[in-house]
């Protein structure tokens, strides 16, 4: 394999990125729900060249028993990269980075799941990166959130996530692999869209206070767009086909919007 060559620039004189995107433009995104028959819930995401599958099992009995929580379910997230997901073959054993990202995903999802509904149980979320090309932790959160909804896990909201980074002095959303490697830093974030509450915020690299504030707003705006894509993916998976028996289509759409977090949630402030 030929060695990777650092690009001459990440932002062109015209203000465009290596792949032709504007600084505030996301990569092409394809979300699918119910991609695995064996799982209780599943989803996949293609974000640029990054491809990830998430599967959910449970709620179910927790093993080993010493992890049991008497007042809520235990959310167990396992993030793994396939050995062929990166140019240089990855070792099969879980790395420290994979364990860290597993924890990050769990922490981003816990605030929206009604874990108290399933005491002493476990909800397992397995995330597998089939192909990595930057932004895998945020893409994993997007897919895992959909997989939880597909499994019928009660949730306050879906959780969209995106990274905002800096390259050649410009802030830009949804970093590709080269921007991630050769840029000046990135800020992965995830939100609860209806309240703009940030449930994940990390920083790698150096940013001024003004840049962090601007990056946060860019991330919130992008997460709102991602949230619409998540809802569309669920609607596509569960919308009734023409001629199906049941409630009136308009009533069904209203119920679906309510279930997807568009309605006001009692008790939320």
- Say how many domains are in the chain: 1
- Residue 162 lies inside a defined structural domain of this protein: yes
DSSP for 87-155, written as a single string:
SSPPPSSPPHHHHHHHHHHHHHHGGGB-GGGSTTEEEEEEEEEEE-SS-HHHHHHHHHHHHHHHTT--B
Q: What is the pLDDT of residue 239?
A: 81
- Residue 126 lies inside a defined structural domain of this protein: yes
pLDDT along the chain (269 residues), means of 10: 70 89 95 96 96 97 91 96 85 87 97 96 97 94 98 97 93 92 93 94 94 96 97 89 53 55 48
Q: What is the pLDDT of residue 191?
A: 97
- Residue 17 lies inside a defined structural domain of this protein: no
User: Which structural domain range is residue 163 located in?
Assistant: 29-237
- Residue 131 lies inside a defined structural domain of this protein: yes
CATH number for the domain including 228?
3.30.230.70
Q: What is the pLDDT of residue 8?
A: 79
pTM of the model as a whole: 0.88
Whole-Å CA distances, 197 to 191, 221, 223: 5, 12, 11
- Residue 224 lies inside a defined structural domain of this protein: yes
């Amino acid at each position: 394999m030929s060695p990777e060559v650092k690009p001459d620039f990440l932002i062109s004189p015209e203000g465009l990125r290596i792949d032709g995107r504007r600084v505030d433009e996301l990569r092409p995104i394809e979300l699918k729900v119910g991609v695995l028959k064996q799982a209780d819930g599943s989803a996949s995401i293609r974000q640029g060249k990054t491809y990830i599958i998430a599967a959910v099992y449970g709620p179910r009995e927790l093993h080993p028993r010493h992890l049991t929580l008497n007042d809520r379910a235990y959310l167990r997230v396992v993030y793994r990269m396939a050995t062929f997901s990166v140019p240089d073959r990855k070792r099969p054993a879980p790395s420290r980075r994979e364990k860290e990202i597993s924890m990050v995903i769990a922490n981003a999802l816990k605030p929206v799941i009604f874990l108290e509904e399933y005491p002493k149980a476990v909800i397992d979320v397995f995330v597998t990166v089939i192909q990595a090309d930057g932004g895998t932790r945020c893409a994993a959160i997007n897919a895992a959130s959909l997989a939880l909804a597909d499994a019928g896990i009660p949730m306050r909201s879906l959780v969209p996530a995106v990274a905002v980074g800096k390259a050649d002095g410009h802030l830009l959303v949804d970093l590709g692999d080269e921007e991630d490697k050769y840029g000046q830093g990135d800020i992965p974030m995830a939100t609860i869209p209806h309240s703009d509450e940030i449930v994940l915020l990390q920083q790698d690299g150096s940013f001024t206070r003004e840049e962090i504030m601007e990056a946060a707003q860019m991330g919130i705006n992008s997460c709102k767009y991602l949230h619409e894509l998540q809802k569309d993916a669920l609607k596509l998976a569960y919308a009734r086909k023409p001629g199906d028996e049941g409630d009136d289509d308009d009533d069904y759409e209203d119920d679906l919007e309510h279930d997807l977090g568009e309605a006001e949630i009692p008790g939320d402030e």
